[in-house]
Protein backbone atom coordinates (compact mmCIF):
# COMPACT_ATOMS: atom_id res chain seq x y z
CA UNK A 1 0.00 0.00 0.00
CA UNK A 2 2.83 2.34 0.87
CA UNK A 3 4.46 1.71 -2.50
CA UNK A 4 1.63 3.49 -4.37
CA UNK A 5 0.25 6.95 -3.63
CA UNK A 6 -3.46 7.77 -3.42
CA UNK A 7 -3.24 9.51 -6.81
CA UNK A 8 -1.80 6.35 -8.40
CA UNK A 9 -4.63 4.28 -6.96
CA UNK A 10 -7.26 6.75 -8.16
CA UNK A 11 -5.75 6.89 -11.65
CA UNK A 12 -5.62 3.08 -11.82
CA UNK A 13 -9.28 2.86 -10.74
CA UNK A 14 -10.27 5.50 -13.30
CA UNK A 15 -8.36 3.73 -16.08
CA UNK A 16 -10.01 0.40 -15.20
CA UNK A 17 -13.46 2.04 -15.37
CA UNK A 18 -12.66 3.60 -18.74
CA UNK A 19 -11.30 0.33 -20.10
CA UNK A 20 -14.43 -1.56 -19.04
CA UNK A 21 -16.58 0.96 -20.91
CA UNK A 22 -14.16 1.31 -23.85
CA UNK A 23 -16.86 0.54 -26.44
CA UNK A 24 -18.93 3.47 -25.21
CA UNK A 25 -15.94 5.81 -25.25
CA UNK A 26 -15.08 4.71 -28.79
CA UNK A 27 -18.53 5.92 -29.85
CA UNK A 28 -17.99 9.23 -28.06
CA UNK A 29 -14.55 9.95 -29.58
CA UNK A 30 -15.83 11.11 -33.05
CA UNK A 31 -18.17 13.60 -31.37
CA UNK A 32 -15.36 14.87 -29.13
CA UNK A 33 -13.09 15.32 -32.14
CA UNK A 34 -15.82 17.26 -33.97
CA UNK A 35 -16.32 19.57 -30.98
CA UNK A 36 -12.57 20.06 -30.60
CA UNK A 37 -12.02 21.13 -34.22
CA UNK A 38 -15.28 22.96 -34.96
CA UNK A 39 -16.38 24.33 -31.56
CA UNK A 40 -13.31 24.85 -29.35
CA UNK A 41 -10.39 25.56 -31.69
CA UNK A 42 -12.27 28.37 -33.53
CA UNK A 43 -12.76 30.07 -30.15
CA UNK A 44 -9.26 31.48 -30.59
CA UNK A 45 -10.86 33.82 -33.12
CA UNK A 46 -12.46 35.63 -30.17
CA UNK A 47 -9.09 37.24 -29.53
CA UNK A 48 -9.97 39.37 -32.55
CA UNK A 49 -12.13 41.43 -30.16
CA UNK A 50 -8.89 42.62 -28.51
CA UNK A 51 -7.00 43.32 -31.75
CA UNK A 52 -7.14 45.64 -34.76
CA UNK A 53 -7.74 43.17 -37.54
CA UNK A 54 -5.60 43.56 -40.64
CA UNK A 55 -6.29 41.10 -43.45
CA UNK A 56 -2.67 41.02 -44.65
CA UNK A 57 -1.47 40.06 -41.15
CA UNK A 58 -4.23 37.65 -40.18
CA UNK A 59 -5.59 37.04 -36.69
CA UNK A 60 -2.31 35.88 -35.15
CA UNK A 61 -0.21 38.90 -36.19
CA UNK A 62 -2.83 41.67 -36.00
CA UNK A 63 -1.82 44.27 -33.37
CA UNK A 64 -3.17 43.86 -29.84
CA UNK A 65 -5.18 46.87 -28.57
CA UNK A 66 -6.80 45.50 -25.39
CA UNK A 67 -10.33 46.72 -24.60
CA UNK A 68 -10.35 49.59 -27.10
CA UNK A 69 -12.98 47.90 -29.31
CA UNK A 70 -15.29 47.56 -26.31
CA UNK A 71 -14.91 51.27 -25.57
CA UNK A 72 -16.13 52.04 -29.10
CA UNK A 73 -19.01 49.56 -28.67
CA UNK A 74 -20.28 51.23 -25.51
CA UNK A 75 -20.10 54.65 -27.17
CA UNK A 76 -22.50 53.64 -29.95
CA UNK A 77 -26.16 54.52 -29.13
CA UNK A 78 -27.37 51.95 -31.69
CA UNK A 79 -25.72 49.22 -29.62
CA UNK A 80 -27.88 49.99 -26.57
CA UNK A 81 -30.98 50.35 -28.74
CA UNK A 82 -30.30 46.92 -30.23
CA UNK A 83 -29.99 45.41 -26.74
CA UNK A 84 -33.33 46.98 -25.78
CA UNK A 85 -35.00 45.65 -28.95
CA UNK A 86 -33.50 42.18 -28.42
CA UNK A 87 -34.79 41.96 -24.85
CA UNK A 88 -38.27 43.22 -25.82
CA UNK A 89 -38.61 40.68 -28.64
CA UNK A 90 -37.17 37.70 -26.79
CA UNK A 91 -38.91 38.38 -23.48
CA UNK A 92 -42.07 38.55 -25.57
CA UNK A 93 -41.21 35.12 -26.95
CA UNK A 94 -40.89 33.79 -23.40
CA UNK A 95 -44.28 35.20 -22.46
CA UNK A 96 -46.27 34.36 -25.62
CA UNK A 97 -44.40 31.57 -27.42
CA UNK A 98 -42.80 29.50 -24.65
CA UNK A 99 -46.02 28.27 -22.96
CA UNK A 100 -47.74 27.32 -26.24
CA UNK A 101 -45.85 24.03 -26.88
CA UNK A 102 -46.71 22.94 -23.33
CA UNK A 103 -50.40 23.64 -23.87
CA UNK A 104 -50.25 21.94 -27.28
CA UNK A 105 -48.60 18.83 -25.81
CA UNK A 106 -51.25 18.66 -23.07
CA UNK A 107 -54.03 19.02 -25.67
CA UNK A 108 -52.59 16.36 -28.01
CA UNK A 109 -52.07 14.01 -25.09
CA UNK A 110 -55.77 14.23 -24.23
CA UNK A 111 -56.82 13.04 -27.71
CA UNK A 112 -57.90 9.44 -27.27
CA UNK A 113 -57.96 8.31 -30.92
CA UNK A 114 -54.39 7.37 -31.82
CA UNK A 115 -54.73 8.03 -35.56
CA UNK A 116 -56.17 11.51 -35.03
CA UNK A 117 -53.38 12.25 -32.53
CA UNK A 118 -50.71 11.33 -35.10
CA UNK A 119 -52.36 13.43 -37.80
CA UNK A 120 -52.62 16.44 -35.47
CA UNK A 121 -49.02 16.13 -34.41
CA UNK A 122 -47.85 15.89 -38.02
CA UNK A 123 -49.83 19.00 -38.96
CA UNK A 124 -48.47 21.03 -36.05
CA UNK A 125 -44.88 19.83 -36.55
CA UNK A 126 -44.73 20.48 -40.31
CA UNK A 127 -44.10 24.29 -40.09
CA UNK A 128 -40.80 23.62 -38.29
CA UNK A 129 -39.34 22.26 -41.53
CA UNK A 130 -40.16 25.43 -43.48
CA UNK A 131 -37.33 27.93 -43.74
CA UNK A 132 -37.87 31.51 -42.61
CA UNK A 133 -37.19 32.57 -46.20
CA UNK A 134 -40.28 30.63 -47.27
CA UNK A 135 -42.37 31.83 -44.32
CA UNK A 136 -41.49 35.48 -44.97
CA UNK A 137 -42.25 34.95 -48.67
CA UNK A 138 -45.72 33.67 -47.74
CA UNK A 139 -46.25 36.71 -45.51
CA UNK A 140 -45.21 39.06 -48.31
CA UNK A 141 -47.59 37.37 -50.76
CA UNK A 142 -50.46 37.70 -48.30
CA UNK A 143 -49.76 40.98 -46.50
CA UNK A 144 -47.83 43.27 -48.87
CA UNK A 145 -49.50 46.31 -50.41
CA UNK A 146 -50.34 44.30 -53.53
CA UNK A 147 -50.80 41.00 -51.68
CA UNK A 148 -53.83 38.78 -51.26
CA UNK A 149 -55.30 40.54 -48.20
CA UNK A 150 -54.94 44.03 -49.65
CA UNK A 151 -56.42 42.82 -52.94
CA UNK A 152 -59.58 41.98 -51.00
CA UNK A 153 -59.40 45.33 -49.18
CA UNK A 154 -59.17 47.16 -52.51
CA UNK A 155 -62.01 45.09 -53.93
CA UNK A 156 -64.17 46.25 -51.01
CA UNK A 157 -63.31 49.88 -51.87
CA UNK A 158 -61.00 50.57 -48.94
CA UNK A 159 -57.45 51.91 -48.86
CA UNK A 160 -54.72 49.22 -48.70
CA UNK A 161 -53.08 48.65 -45.31
CA UNK A 162 -49.30 48.60 -44.97
CA UNK A 163 -49.09 45.54 -42.72
CA UNK A 164 -45.39 44.83 -43.21
CA UNK A 165 -44.31 48.47 -42.80
CA UNK A 166 -46.32 49.08 -39.62
CA UNK A 167 -44.08 49.21 -36.53
CA UNK A 168 -46.98 48.40 -34.20
CA UNK A 169 -47.79 45.21 -36.10
CA UNK A 170 -44.22 43.94 -36.42
CA UNK A 171 -43.93 42.42 -32.93
CA UNK A 172 -47.31 40.63 -33.08
CA UNK A 173 -46.29 39.13 -36.44
CA UNK A 174 -42.98 37.99 -34.90
CA UNK A 175 -44.69 36.28 -31.96
CA UNK A 176 -47.44 34.69 -34.06
CA UNK A 177 -45.12 33.29 -36.73
CA UNK A 178 -42.55 32.10 -34.16
CA UNK A 179 -45.27 30.27 -32.22
CA UNK A 180 -46.80 28.78 -35.37
CA UNK A 181 -43.44 27.56 -36.64
CA UNK A 182 -41.93 26.14 -33.44
CA UNK A 183 -44.81 25.03 -31.20
CA UNK A 184 -45.38 21.62 -32.79
CA UNK A 185 -41.69 20.72 -32.85
CA UNK A 186 -41.05 21.82 -29.26
CA UNK A 187 -44.15 19.97 -28.04
CA UNK A 188 -42.38 16.68 -28.92
CA UNK A 189 -40.12 17.14 -25.89
CA UNK A 190 -43.08 17.60 -23.55
CA UNK A 191 -44.99 14.71 -25.11
CA UNK A 192 -41.95 12.51 -24.54
CA UNK A 193 -41.90 13.57 -20.89
CA UNK A 194 -45.64 12.85 -20.57
CA UNK A 195 -45.23 9.30 -21.94
CA UNK A 196 -42.82 8.60 -19.08
CA UNK A 197 -45.47 9.27 -16.43
CA UNK A 198 -46.68 6.16 -14.58
CA UNK A 199 -50.18 5.34 -15.91
CA UNK A 200 -51.18 4.00 -12.48
CA UNK A 201 -51.36 7.60 -11.25
CA UNK A 202 -54.03 8.37 -13.86
CA UNK A 203 -55.91 5.17 -13.08
CA UNK A 204 -55.94 5.94 -9.36
CA UNK A 205 -57.08 9.52 -10.01
CA UNK A 206 -59.86 8.30 -12.34
CA UNK A 207 -61.10 5.86 -9.66
CA UNK A 208 -61.14 8.75 -7.17
CA UNK A 209 -63.36 10.70 -9.58
CA UNK A 210 -60.81 13.26 -10.82
CA UNK A 211 -61.81 15.07 -13.99
CA UNK A 212 -59.52 15.42 -17.01
CA UNK A 213 -58.60 18.97 -16.00
CA UNK A 214 -57.75 17.84 -12.48
CA UNK A 215 -55.56 15.02 -13.85
CA UNK A 216 -53.72 17.53 -16.02
CA UNK A 217 -53.23 19.99 -13.14
CA UNK A 218 -52.28 17.52 -10.42
CA UNK A 219 -50.56 14.69 -12.32
CA UNK A 220 -49.35 15.68 -15.78
CA UNK A 221 -48.01 19.17 -15.08
CA UNK A 222 -46.15 18.30 -11.85
CA UNK A 223 -44.51 15.31 -13.55
CA UNK A 224 -43.20 17.34 -16.50
CA UNK A 225 -42.22 20.38 -14.43
CA UNK A 226 -38.55 19.40 -14.44
CA UNK A 227 -38.61 19.27 -18.26
CA UNK A 228 -40.32 22.67 -18.39
CA UNK A 229 -37.67 24.06 -16.04
CA UNK A 230 -34.79 22.82 -18.21
CA UNK A 231 -36.40 24.19 -21.39
CA UNK A 232 -37.04 27.53 -19.66
CA UNK A 233 -33.41 27.82 -18.54
CA UNK A 234 -32.19 27.07 -22.07
CA UNK A 235 -34.64 29.62 -23.50
CA UNK A 236 -33.36 32.30 -21.11
CA UNK A 237 -29.80 31.39 -22.12
CA UNK A 238 -30.73 32.24 -25.73
CA UNK A 239 -32.35 35.59 -24.95
CA UNK A 240 -29.65 37.60 -26.72
CA UNK A 241 -29.32 35.36 -29.79
CA UNK A 242 -32.75 33.90 -30.56
CA UNK A 243 -34.48 34.56 -33.86
CA UNK A 244 -31.89 36.08 -36.21
CA UNK A 245 -33.22 34.17 -39.27
CA UNK A 246 -36.76 35.28 -38.54
CA UNK A 247 -35.95 38.95 -37.94
CA UNK A 248 -33.56 39.08 -40.91
CA UNK A 249 -36.21 37.82 -43.33
CA UNK A 250 -39.22 39.67 -41.87
CA UNK A 251 -37.71 43.10 -41.24
CA UNK A 252 -37.41 46.00 -43.67
CA UNK A 253 -36.32 49.64 -43.61
CA UNK A 254 -39.75 50.83 -42.41
CA UNK A 255 -39.58 48.78 -39.19
CA UNK A 256 -35.85 49.01 -38.55
CA UNK A 257 -36.25 50.92 -35.29
CA UNK A 258 -38.22 48.02 -33.74
CA UNK A 259 -36.46 45.14 -35.49
CA UNK A 260 -32.70 45.78 -35.16
CA UNK A 261 -31.80 43.15 -32.58
CA UNK A 262 -28.24 42.63 -31.41
CA UNK A 263 -27.63 40.00 -34.11
CA UNK A 264 -29.01 42.33 -36.75
CA UNK A 265 -26.78 45.10 -35.39
CA UNK A 266 -23.74 42.82 -35.72
CA UNK A 267 -24.79 41.89 -39.25
CA UNK A 268 -25.31 45.51 -40.27
CA UNK A 269 -21.98 46.79 -38.92
CA UNK A 270 -20.15 43.82 -40.45
CA UNK A 271 -21.65 43.63 -43.94
CA UNK A 272 -23.55 46.87 -44.57
CA UNK A 273 -21.05 49.46 -43.47
CA UNK A 274 -17.31 49.91 -43.18
CA UNK A 275 -16.12 46.36 -42.50
CA UNK A 276 -14.58 46.08 -39.03
CA UNK A 277 -14.34 42.46 -37.92
CA UNK A 278 -12.69 43.40 -34.63
CA UNK A 279 -15.60 45.63 -33.65
CA UNK A 280 -18.26 43.05 -34.56
CA UNK A 281 -16.32 40.30 -32.72
CA UNK A 282 -16.28 42.49 -29.60
CA UNK A 283 -20.07 42.85 -29.80
CA UNK A 284 -20.47 39.09 -30.32
CA UNK A 285 -18.26 38.31 -27.33
CA UNK A 286 -20.24 40.71 -25.15
CA UNK A 287 -23.46 39.02 -26.31
CA UNK A 288 -22.12 35.56 -25.44
CA UNK A 289 -21.08 36.69 -21.95
CA UNK A 290 -24.54 38.16 -21.32
CA UNK A 291 -26.15 34.91 -22.50
CA UNK A 292 -23.99 32.94 -20.07
CA UNK A 293 -24.91 35.25 -17.18
CA UNK A 294 -28.62 35.00 -18.02
CA UNK A 295 -28.36 31.21 -18.15
CA UNK A 296 -26.70 31.05 -14.73
CA UNK A 297 -29.20 33.56 -13.30
CA UNK A 298 -32.20 31.60 -14.59
CA UNK A 299 -30.72 28.41 -13.18
CA UNK A 300 -30.18 30.02 -9.78
CA UNK A 301 -33.74 31.42 -9.69
CA UNK A 302 -35.24 28.01 -10.53
CA UNK A 303 -33.13 26.33 -7.84
CA UNK A 304 -34.38 28.92 -5.36
CA UNK A 305 -38.02 28.43 -6.43
CA UNK A 306 -38.27 24.69 -7.11
CA UNK A 307 -35.18 23.23 -5.47
CA UNK A 308 -33.69 21.88 -8.72
CA UNK A 309 -32.09 23.41 -11.78
CA UNK A 310 -30.05 22.56 -14.82
CA UNK A 311 -26.82 22.88 -12.82
CA UNK A 312 -27.27 21.46 -9.34
CA UNK A 313 -29.86 21.73 -6.58
CA UNK A 314 -30.39 23.54 -3.29
CA UNK A 315 -28.10 21.08 -1.53
CA UNK A 316 -25.26 22.06 -3.86
CA UNK A 317 -25.67 25.73 -2.95
CA UNK A 318 -25.26 25.10 0.77
Task: Read off the CATH number of the domain in which 174 is found.
Answer: 1.10.3720.10
pLDDT of res. 1: 47
> In this structure, are 14 and 103 located in the same domain?
no
| Burial 290-311, CB ≥16 within 10 A → b, else e | bbeebbbebbeebbeeeebbbe
pLDDT of res. 38: 87
Does any domain span residue 57? no
> In this structure, are 12 and 140 located in the same domain?
no
| DSSP string over the chain | -TTS-HHHHHHHHHHHHHHHTHHHHHHHHHHHHHHIIIIIGGGGGGGGGGB---TTTHHHHSPB-TTHHHHHHHH-HHHHHHHHHHHHHHHHIIIIISHHHHHHHHHHHT---HHHHHHHHHHHHGGGGS-HHHHHHHHHHHHSTTSHHHHHHHHTTPPP--STT-HHHHHHHHHHHHHHHHHHHHHHHHHHHHHTS-HHHHHHHHHTT--HHHHIIIIIHHHHHHHHHHHHHHHHHTTTTTTHHHHHHH--GGGHHHH--HHHHHHHHHHSSS--HHHHHHHHHHHHHHHHHHHHHHHHHHHHHHSB-SS-BHHHH-
Does any domain span residue 52? no
Residue 266 · residue 140 · CB < 8 Å: no
> In this structure, are 8 and 116 located in the same domain?
no
> In this structure, are 228 and 299 located in the same domain?
yes
> In this structure, are 260 and 193 located in the same domain?
yes
> In this structure, are 37 and 90 located in the same domain?
no
> In this structure, are 85 and 180 located in the same domain?
yes
pLDDT of res. 307: 67
> In this structure, are 189 and 103 located in the same domain?
yes
pTM attached to this predicted model = 0.78
The residue segments making up the domain with residue 95 are 70-317
Does any domain span residue 63? no
Does any domain span residue 312? yes
Q: How many domains would you assign to the chain? A: 2
Q: pLDDT digit of tens for each residue in the chain (318 aa)?
A: 445 566 666 777 778 888 888 888 888 899 889 988 888 888 888 888 888 888 788 888 888 888 888 888 888 888 899 999 998 998 898 898 999 999 999 999 888 777 888 888 889 999 999 999 999 988 888 888 888 888 998 888 888 888 888 889 999 999 999 999 999 999 999 999 998 888 888 889 888 888 888 988 889 998 998 888 888 888 888 888 878 899 999 888 888 889 989 889 888 888 876 677 888 888 888 888 888 888 888 878 777 766 666 666 655 555
> In this structure, are 234 and 175 located in the same domain?
yes
> In this structure, are 39 and 133 located in the same domain?
no
Amino acid sequence: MGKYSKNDIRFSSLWNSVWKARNVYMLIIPGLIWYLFFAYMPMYGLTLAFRTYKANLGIFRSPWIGFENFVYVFRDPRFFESIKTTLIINFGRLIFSFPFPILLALAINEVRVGRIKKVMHTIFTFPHFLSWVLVSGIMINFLSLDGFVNSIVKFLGEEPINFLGNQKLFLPFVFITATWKSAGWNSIIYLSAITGIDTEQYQAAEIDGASRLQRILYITLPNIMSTIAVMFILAVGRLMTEGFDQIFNMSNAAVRSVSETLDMYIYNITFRGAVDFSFSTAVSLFKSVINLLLLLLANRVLIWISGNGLFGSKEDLK
